[in-house]
Amino acid sequence: MGKPFADHDSQTGLYDEHEVREPRKFKVVLLNDDYTTMDFVVEILMHVFKKTETEATLIMLAVHNEGKGVCGVYPAEVAETKVDTVHRLARSAGFPLKCSMEGE
């Protein structure tokens, strides 16, 4: 049987650099459209992305004015789940709101 932690150095107690790096992070980006209400976008930012009402309003206005904006930065699985949640909530409310993820 091999050593349980092949790259663990028992002399120094350290791991190789590649083992201690943080997982890749992804930006979750909200896209503007002409139909989703501003109030709904603020609700999404507060409930899905845990923003305060003030932060949510500023991000929503930035997306409205600039076409897209970053809602947060998360590990891949968390980012994927947030994109899916936004799309599910938007579809069930009848809005075309779009969200995507971008590698950092």
For strands 68-75 and 98-103, give the pairing.
Answer: unpaired
Round to the nearest angstrom and report the end-to-end CA distance of the chain: 39
Count of positions on this chain that bind ligand TYC (CB under 6 A): 13
Binding string to ligand TYC for residues 6 to 25, with x set by CB under 6 A, is what?
--------------------
d(CA 86, CA 89): 5
Structure tokens at 85: 């949640």
CB of 86 to ligand TYC, least distance (A): 9
Distance of CA 32 to the CA centre of its chain: 16
Count of alpha carbons within 13 angstroms of residue 101, beta-carbon side: 21
> Any contact of residue 37 with ligand TYC (CB under 6 A)?
yes
Question: Which of 28, 29, 56, 63 forms a contact with ligand TYC (CB under 6 A)?
Answer: 63
Nearer to ligand TYC, 60 or 79 (CB): 60
Interface residue list for ligand TYC (CB under 6 A) = 30-34, 36-38, 41, 60, 63-64, 97
